[in-house]
């Protein structure tokens, strides 16, 4: 039986581990975090990624924790409704709804019946790639027939493979958190985006009465729940309430970064997946979706070509165009959500008021699930 190592045990890593086991490999997942470490916030999962979860055998576990959404509404910060997307229509058109899920619940769904060894507290420090791969760490070196680096945007595996393209700061930051109690005026199956002046935010129900929220700003902002609440003073709607209902220590704060797309992200019996391969800004909510799609494409390529360098190159070729397009689009869309000038905001409101069917048609390539 061929052996494979996956570096990184989050969305991309666990999806890749499922793909490799389904392709017949004995898989070891190496994860830097200790078991039980915090699992992040929430995610929107679109139909193509749900289809990937189905192919990877994790759809039932996903369905048991995800919240199928009826709608995604867009407001301005004074509470005026600018656009309302019928998310239920996605299920009719594409076979799966848009769903909200807590990242920790998605990781558990990916772990469900995963036939792989998962080692926590294992930080990979280097890599040697020949006909096989050797993984270096503070422990004895590990060898395997193949390796997938799914170790996030600052991937060690990526640098060890010699692929450049440093992460690029966008100039924006985001606060994120999960409110533990829904508020009275909140509809439990509707997500929302709120476009403000020089920033945007939003919320997504993620089940068990929890609501994931996010808020963006410019680089130089300070972290912490109190600053997020200060920013939201004067905004209509429940966003500030969700922030206030989050434990201060649980509020995440990050620079938003991405990386120029690469044509190749593998060498020999090693490849990359998820943010390590194609980090994108969160403006289209696609990073984790693409990590799941990577897993499904990897499984298909390995089934066709076998667990060998040709299989990995076929997977990279299958994924390059779509992910590169999303990296670029996410970069273009982000500033639109951050527009400040009154004239620009009027234009944005007018664009958002266009019939949803129009924008949906333009995005068919993203939503449509290949069979």
Cβ atoms within 10 Å, residue 93: 14
Residues 202-241 as x/- pattern, contact with ligand FAD by CB under 6 A? ------------x---------------------------
- One character per residue 165-204, x = contact with ligand FAD (rule: CB under 6 A): ---------x-x----------------------------
Q: Using an 8 Å Cβ cutoff, are 206 and 189 in contact?
A: no
> Rounded distance, CA 214 to CA 258, Å?
18
Instruction: Determine if residue 208 is left, alpha or beta; phi over 0 gives left, psi from -120 to 50 gives alpha, anything else beta.
Output: left
H or E element that contains 74: strand 71-76
Nearer to ligand FAD, 305 or 320 (CB): 320
**At its nearest, how many Å lie between ligand FAD and the CB of residue 107?**
9
Q: Which stretch binds ligand FAD (CB under 6 A): 25-33, 80-88, 299-307, 337-345?
A: 25-33
Q: What is the per-residue binding string for ligand FAD in 115-144, x denoting contact by CB under 6 A?
A: --------xx--------------------
Q: Per-residue b/e over 97-114, b at no fewer than 16 CB within 10 Å?
A: bbbbbbbbbbbbbbbbeb
Binding string, residues 36-75; x marks residues near ligand FAD by CB under 6 A: -------xx-------------------------------
CA dihedral 324, 328, 330, 332 (to 10 degrees): -170
Of 3-11, 75-83, 111-119, 186-194, the segment contacting ligand FAD by CB under 6 A is 3-11
Tell whether residue 7 is a contact of ligand FAD (CB under 6 A). yes
Residue 285 phi, psi (nearest 5):
50, 50
Query: 189 vs 353, which CB is nearer to ligand FAD?
Result: 189
Q: Which residue from 109, 106, 135 is spatially nearest to 41, judged by alpha carbons?
A: 106
Between residues 213 and 235, which has the closer beta carbon with respect to ligand FAD? 213
Nearer to ligand FAD, 76 or 275 (CB): 275
**DSSP structural state of residue 178:** E
Residue 282 touches ligand FAD, criterion: CB under 6 A: yes
Size of the site for ligand FAD (CB under 6 A): 34
Does 286 help bind ligand FAD (rule: CB under 6 A)? Answer: yes
- Which single residue brings its beta carbon nearest to ligand FAD? 287
Q: In whole angstroms, what is the distance from residue 258 CA to residue 275 CA? A: 8
Cα 360 to Cα 243: distance, rounded to the nearest angstrom: 31
Of the candidates 280, 251, 275, which has an alpha carbon nearest to the alpha carbon of residue 265? 275
Task: Tell me how far apart the alpha carbons of residues 100 and 90 are, in angstroms, rounded to a whole number.
Answer: 14
Which listed range, 140-148, 281-289, 312-320, 332-340, lies at the site for ligand FAD (CB under 6 A)?
Answer: 281-289
Residues that bind ligand FAD (CB under 6 A): 7-13, 30-33, 43-44, 123-124, 150-152, 156, 174, 176, 214, 254, 256, 274-276, 282, 285-289, 291
């Amino acid at each position: 039986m061929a052996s494979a190592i996956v570096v990184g045990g989050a969305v991309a890593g666990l999806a890749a581990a499922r793909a490799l086991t389904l392709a017949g490999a004995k898989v070891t997942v190496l994860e830097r975090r200790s078991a039980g470490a915090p699992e992040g916030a929430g995610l929107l999962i679109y139909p193509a990624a749900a289809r990937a979860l189905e192919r990877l055998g994790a759809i039932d576990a996903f369905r048991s924790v995800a919240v199928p959404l009826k709608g995604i509404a867009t407001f301005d910060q004074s509470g005026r409704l600018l656009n309302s997307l019928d998310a239920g229509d996605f299920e009719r058109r594409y076979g799966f709804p848009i769903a909200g899920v807590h990242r920790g619940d998605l990781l558990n769904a990916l772990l469900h019946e995963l036939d792989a060894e998962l080692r926590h507290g294992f930080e990979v420090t280097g890599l040697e790639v020949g006909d096989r791969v050797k993984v270096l760490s503070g422990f004895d070196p590990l060898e395997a027939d193949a390796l997938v680096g799914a170790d996030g945007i600052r991937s060690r595996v990526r640098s060890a493979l010699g692929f450049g393209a440093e992460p690029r700061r966008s100039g924006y930051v985001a606060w994120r958190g999960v409110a533990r109690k829904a508020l009275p005026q909140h509809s439990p199956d509707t997500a929302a985006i709120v476009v403000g002046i020089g920033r945007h935010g939003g919320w997504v129900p993620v089940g068990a009465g929890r609501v994931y929220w996010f808020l963006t700003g410019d680089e130089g902002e300070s972290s912490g729940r109190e600053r997020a609440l200060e920013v939201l003073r004067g905004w209509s709607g429940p966003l500030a309430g969700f922030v206030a209902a989050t434990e201060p220590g649980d509020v995440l704060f990050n620079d938003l970064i991405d990386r120029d797309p690469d044509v190749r992200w593998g060498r020999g019996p090693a490849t990359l997946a998820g943010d390590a391969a194609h980090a994108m800004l969160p403006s289209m909510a696609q990073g984790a979706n693409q990590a799941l799609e990577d897993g499904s494409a990897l499984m298909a390529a390995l089934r066709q070509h076998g667990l060998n360098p040709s299989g990995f190159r076929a997977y990279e070729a299958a994924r390059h165009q779509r992910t590169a397009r999303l990296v670029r689009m996410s970069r273009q869309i982000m500033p639109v959500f951050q527009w400040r000038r009154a004239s620009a905001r009027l234009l944005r409101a007018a664009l958002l008021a266009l019939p949803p069917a129009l924008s949906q048609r333009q995005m068919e390539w993203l939503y449509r699930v290949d069979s």
